[in-house]
């Protein structure tokens, strides 16, 4: 246990120190164009130590348990030239209780993962022979530990099992469809549900439809919603408060979004991909309400950023063994509303149904501006999906968009670290080359 060796050797030589140790065993099975392409196992192990010495901080990491002295000496040397540390490491406290490990996940063998992939491809080929299919199945077992000189000593294990399916339809142009499944809580093969979703996307896309540039009602499905939420996730980060770059500065406890929107950063979500009993510094995990019925409730912080901003840590330190802690979100939840998708579509005379978007790289996230290409979307006419759209984009300011929420879906989709319903926007700017 490398972390204990580091802490024992560094005691008395520094003001404070913490160590994060992580080990992960990942198995990846990949299919390309309907054929088994590869399977591999990766073993990742490393240790990162942060020290505070004479009021300055230093950090070093290593994957070699035989070179602990070098690791410690590097951290100490960097602390001599490091930034001032105006914070103290968190004291010992009892970690939260959150389910992160289901033993049945580890019983899923490589052979079973290959079998799942082949069965799904055979079923999709039988129903949709024109669809080219790629599949990735990831199974990961990890152990994460944090120990510090203030008495905290935390450890947890996590098992993750996820599948990503991407389908390519070459029919009057290129059309992508995709699906994602998180089986970390129960490794039950969900082939029927995956088939139904993929087949529905392809069937709806058999015909082409056009939409003119304008403002339309837009239904954004859970799979596309994270791209619209990303600028908001950036803005609530305490680093943006420290840098004075967040558009949310000065708006705490003020109405910013629609009263239909409640967003929660929840590290305690059972079997979420970002779930943990404590954060990257050992602060007890908790739920952080970011927006409550549209009111902005506050930023998220790690210990160092909180100290600079005159706040307290929100248990939001994100960190791996090779990096310093930074504030960040864990599992993002949006509370559901009462809308049903079928009834919602019937109420739209002309609009868009969006399942996936790409192209956020040209967006000004700090200002909340986005410009996204619709990679999987459909036109709605008189309450009916009439066909897929091509060369269509959505642009605008996300804060203005989320003030135009007409309805929120009643069902939440598990996307691993995003737990989201669909959202109906009463009017978004749509650009088209048609």
Domains identified in the chain and CATH numbers: 2-199 (3.30.2290.10), 206-228+336-432 (no CATH), 237-334 (no CATH)
Residue 314: its pLDDT value, please? 98
Cβ neighbors of 112 (< 8 A, separation 6 or more) are none
Task: Tell me the pTM.
Answer: 0.95
d(CA 5, CA 14): 15
Contact 260, 280 (CB under 8 A): no
The Cα 7–Cα 354 span in angstroms is 51
Torsion of the alpha carbons at 218, 223, 224 and 226, rounded to the nearest 10: 120
DSSP output for 52-74: EETTEEEEEEES-TT-HHHHHHH
Tokens representing 102 are 């289901």
Per-residue confidence (pLDDT) for residue 174, from 0 to 100 = 81
CA-to-CA dists, residue 428 to 247, 337, 394, 400, angstroms: 21, 20, 7, 9
Give the CA count within 13 Å in the CB-facing half-sphere of 144.
20
Which residue, 29, 64, 25, 30, is CA-closest to 42?
25
Beta-carbon neighbour count of residue 119 at 10 Å?
A: 12
Using the 8-state DSSP alphabet, how is residue 257 labeled?
S
Residue with tokens 């840098």: 243
Query: How many whole angstroms from its chain centre is CA 294?
Result: 21
pLDDT value, residue 361: 53
Which sign, positive or negative, has the C-alpha torsion 334, 336, 340, 343? negative
Quote the pLDDT of residue 63.
95
Which two structure tokens, joined as six digits, stand for 44?
């990742």
* Alpha-carbon span 387 to 209, nearest angstrom: 5
CA distance 330 to 273: 8
Separation CA 272–CA 263 (nearest Å): 16
Write out the chain's pLDDT in tens, 434 residues.
789 999 999 988 999 999 999 999 999 999 999 999 999 999 999 999 999 999 999 999 999 989 999 999 999 999 999 999 999 999 999 999 999 999 999 999 999 999 999 999 999 999 999 999 999 999 999 999 999 999 999 999 999 999 999 999 887 678 899 999 999 998 888 899 999 999 999 999 989 999 999 999 999 999 999 999 999 999 999 999 999 999 999 999 999 999 999 999 999 999 999 999 999 999 999 999 999 999 999 999 999 999 999 999 999 999 999 999 999 999 999 999 999 999 999 999 999 999 999 875 556 888 899 999 999 999 999 999 999 999 999 999 999 999 999 999 999 999 999 999 999 999 999 999 86
Q: Which residues of 182-207 are buried (b: 16+ CB within 10 A; e: fewer)?
A: bbbbebebbeeebbebbbebbebbee
Which token pair is 240? 């943006």
């Amino acid at each position: 246990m490398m972390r204990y060796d580091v802490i024992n050797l560094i005691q008395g030589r520094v003001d404070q120190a913490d160590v994060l140790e992580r080990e992960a065993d990942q198995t990846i099975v990949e299919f390309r164009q309907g054929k088994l392409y590869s399977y591999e196992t990766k073993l990742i192990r490393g240790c990162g130590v942060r020290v505070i010495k004479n009021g300055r901080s230093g950090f070093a990491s290593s994957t070699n348990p035989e070179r602990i002295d070098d690791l410690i000496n590097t951290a100490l040397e960097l602390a001599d030239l490091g930034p001032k540390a105006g914070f103290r490491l968190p004291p010992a406290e009892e970690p939260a209780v959150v389910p992160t490990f289901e033993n049945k996940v580890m019983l899923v063998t490589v052979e079973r993962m290959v079998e799942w992939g082949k069965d799904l491809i055979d079923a999709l080929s039988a129903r949709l022979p024109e669809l080219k299919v790629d599949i990735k199945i990831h199974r990961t077992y990890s152990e994460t530990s944090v120990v510090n000189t203030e008495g905290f000593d935390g450890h947890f294990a996590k098992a993750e099992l996820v599948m990503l399916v991407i389908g390519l339809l070459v029919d009057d142009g290129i059309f992508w469809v995709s699906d994602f499944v998180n089986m970390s809580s129960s490794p039950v093969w969900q082939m029927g549900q995956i088939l139904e979703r993929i087949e529905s996307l392809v069937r709806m896309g058999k015909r082409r439809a056009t939409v003119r540039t304008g403002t339309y009602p837009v239904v954004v499905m859970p799979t596309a919603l994270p791209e619209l939420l990303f600028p908001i996730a950036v803005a609530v980060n305490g680093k943006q408060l420290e840098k004075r770059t967040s558009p949310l500065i000065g708006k705490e406890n003020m109405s910013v979004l629609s009263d239909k929107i409640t967003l929660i950063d929840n590290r305690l979500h059972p079997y979420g991909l970002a779930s943990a009993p404590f954060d990257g510094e050992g602060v007890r995990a908790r739920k952080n309400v970011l927006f409550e019925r549209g009111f902005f409730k506050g930023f998220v912080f790690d210990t160092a950023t909180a100290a600079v901003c005159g706040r307290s840590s929100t248990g939001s330190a994100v960190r791996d063994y090779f990096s310093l802690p930074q504030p960040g979100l864990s599992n993002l939840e949006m509370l559901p509303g009462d809308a049903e998708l079928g009834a919602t579509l019937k109420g739209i005379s002309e609009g868009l149904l969006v399942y996936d978007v790409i192209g956020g790289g040209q967006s000004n996230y700090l200002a909340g501006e986005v410009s996204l290409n619709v990679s999987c979307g459909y036109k709605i006419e008189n309450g009916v999906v009439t066909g897929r759209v091509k060369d269509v984009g959505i642009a605008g300011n996300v804060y203005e968009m989320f003030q135009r929420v007409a309805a929120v879906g009643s069902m939440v989709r598990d996307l691993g670290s995003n737990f989201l319903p669909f959202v109906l926007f009463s009017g978004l700017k749509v650009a088209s080359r048609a």
